[in-house]
Structure 1
Amino acid sequence: MGDSEATIQRSWDKLADRFPFPGYLDHLHDGSIDVARTVARYLPAGSRILDFGAGPADKTALLAAMGYRCTAMDDLNDEWHRRGDARRQILDFAADVGVDFLQLDGSGVPPTERFDMVMLHSVLQHLHDSPRELLIDLVQRIRPGGYLFITTPNHVNLRKRLAVLRGKTSHAPFVLYYWYPGGWRGYVREYARDDCIELAHALGVELLELRGVHHMLFRLRPWMRALYVALTAFTPSVRDTWLMVARKPLGWAPRGQLPDEQFRRLTGLTSWAEMRSINPFSAD
């Protein structure tokens, strides 16, 4: 159910020729093609897709070239988005390739139609607060039986484990964090396999697919990549990215903030109010 490899590659070539930022796509080919293949396995061309946190709409544009009806959403407030006329170039590019781009203004997600799939690629790790309210809002925009498609960096990937063993950080370089202009827009909380499973359960969606994939091999030196792929061939849980597809069941209803008793039972912790009154370093 979907496009052939040749069609996907032609769509990528078409995107690369028109993309307005030279060099941006150089390292994104493999991950973007994997995203396109995944979408094509679940949805036929012509299906409606919302790409939330789409950035410059690179993946959205690829899917639009494959015949999907695509809407992109982003606040376009990353540091590089604010430089020069980058925002205008992104919006012009989206319009040129047939993507409906909605620029967010910080007041929440605007009303939309329902979609066959909502995607979030490399978004969740940037959230400073719980993803609960955002994801509930987005799942409400998926038609019954439609799909939620998420990719997010693997917090315990092999590259990070090796870095920690060498005494290095598993987070963004400190110098980048320290000198970043304005509010931090980098990674805040990355995900492990169990986090993805718990996320699907908490949202009340049916987990169809969860696999470790290689979307960020470009972070390794070229001579290390083949070795890295070989080492992770039989241990996908330490690959660099999680790819997750879930289905919105019929009759889905959102779960809001848990009552205090249910919160304690589920987490094994006291309520947040009680936690604030406890000094974990006291002798009592």
Structure 2
Amino acid sequence: MQAGIVRQELRSLATRYPAEWRASLDHEVERQTFHVGLVSQLAPRGSIADIGGGTGLFSVGCAAVGMSVTLIDDFADPVNESRTDELLDVHRGVGVKIEVRDVVRDGLGLAPESMDVITTFDSMEHWHSSPKRLFAEVTTALRPGGWFLLGVPNCVNLRKRITVPLGRGKWSSMADWYERPHFRGHVREPDVDDLRYIASDMKLTSVRILGRNWLGRGHAHPLVRTLTPMVDRVLRSRPTLCSDIYLLGRKPSTTDGGTVRSEEP
């Protein structure tokens, strides 16, 4: 599906959110345009399960462009402590099926070979237990030839390589870790080699490692917001330097190979 159509649909969906949420969603539109557009290329009108998507735009965007979507989350992050039901009404309004569960502890709860695509964005780095068992369930739930798309922050992106030697590089704020009874921040951020490890363990085929740079688009400084799209275009060919990295791989079918590549979709 063309990016312009997806972008327009997401902007329309954002207006259905409460007013105080709309400003934060504005800079998310471009990122979710990429996510929704990529998934719609993989499985137009297909069945999608999104893990840990919360109340954001991705699952509603997929449903709005014609996919059958199941959203699985425990909705226990601080951002979901108020108005969650109201926000999820937006999802229900476009047909998203919502499953409330801790996937690492309780599993996916999906039927075998029931999904064309399973996605999870900016969630794995928050999990306190190994995702190995969960990702085995992912492959079981995918149809033969189905796709897994995992998006995470890169622990060794270019910005961190510059700022960490200068003494700046904390993953989470002190208040998020110290003041709250349950820490929901980043536990372990992966890198490109980690994504390749996961792909190998899941026995995925047609594997691609993609890189993007989204964080600067929501920066408080207007110069950073202006420069981020230009920097993004330069760094995409080097996922190891990007702020956001993606593993895209396919459940084996009888005709698949097993090459791992780093490239554009």
TM-score category, normalised to shorter length: 0.7 to 0.9
Tell me which residue corresponds to 1:56: 55
Tell me which residue corresponds to 1:4: 2
- Alpha-carbon shift at residue 219 of structure 1 (Å): 5.5
| 2:101 is equivalent to residue 98 of structure 1 | no
Instruction: Encode CA deviations 1:9-45: one digit per residue, 9 max, x unaligned.
Output: 221122112123333312212211111221122122x
| 2:141 is equivalent to residue 141 of structure 1 | yes
- Alpha-carbon shift at residue 109 of structure 1 (Å): 2.7
Q: Distance in 1 between matches of 2:116 and 2:232?
A: 33
Q: Distance in 1 between matches of 2:202 and 2:65?
A: 30
- Alpha-carbon shift at residue 243 of structure 1 (Å): 1.7
Q: SS of the counterpart of 1:147?
A: strand
Q: Distance in 2 between matches of 1:144 and 1:231?
A: 35
Which consecutive unaligned segments of at least 5 residues does structure 1 have? Answer: 252-284
Tell me which residue corresponds to 2:248: 245
Q: Is the 8 A contact 1:212 1:240 kept in 2?
A: yes
Q: SS of the counterpart of 1:171?
A: coil
Tell me which residue corresponds to 2:71: 72
Q: SS of the counterpart of 1:25?
A: helix
Q: How big is the alpha-carbon RMSD for the aligned residues of Structure 1 and Structure 2?
A: 2.1
Q: How does 1:1-284 map to 2 (within 5 A)?
A: 3-20=1-18, 21-44=21-44, 46-83=45-82, 86-104=83-101, 107-112=106-111, 114-179=114-179, 181-218=180-217, 220=219, 221-225=221-225, 226=227, 228-229=231-232, 232=235, 235-250=238-253
Q: What TM-score comes out, normalization by structure 2 length?
A: 0.84
Tell me which residue corresponds to 1:260: none
Which has the higher mean CA deviation after the structures are superposed, 109-118 or 157-166? 109-118
Q: SS of the counterpart of 2:23?
A: coil
- Alpha-carbon shift at residue 57 of structure 1 (Å): 4.3
Q: Distance in 1 between matches of 2:3 and 2:233?
A: 24
Q: SS of the counterpart of 1:176?
A: helix
**Aligned length, in residue pairs:** 245
- Alpha-carbon shift at residue 230 of structure 1 (Å): 7.0
Which amino acid in 2 is paired with 1:122? Answer: D
- Alpha-carbon shift at residue 131 of structure 1 (Å): 1.0
Q: Which is greater in Rg?
A: 1
Q: Distance in 1 between matches of 2:64 and 2:120?
A: 19
Tell me which residue corresponds to 1:264: none
Instruction: Encode CA deviations 1:97-121: one digit per residue, 9 max, x unaligned.
Output: 2111111166433244611000011
Q: Distance in 1 between matches of 2:161 and 2:26?
A: 26
Q: What TM-score comes out, normalization by structure 1 length?
A: 0.79
Which consecutive unaligned segments of at least 5 residues does structure 2 have? Answer: 255-265
- Alpha-carbon shift at residue 203 of structure 1 (Å): 1.1
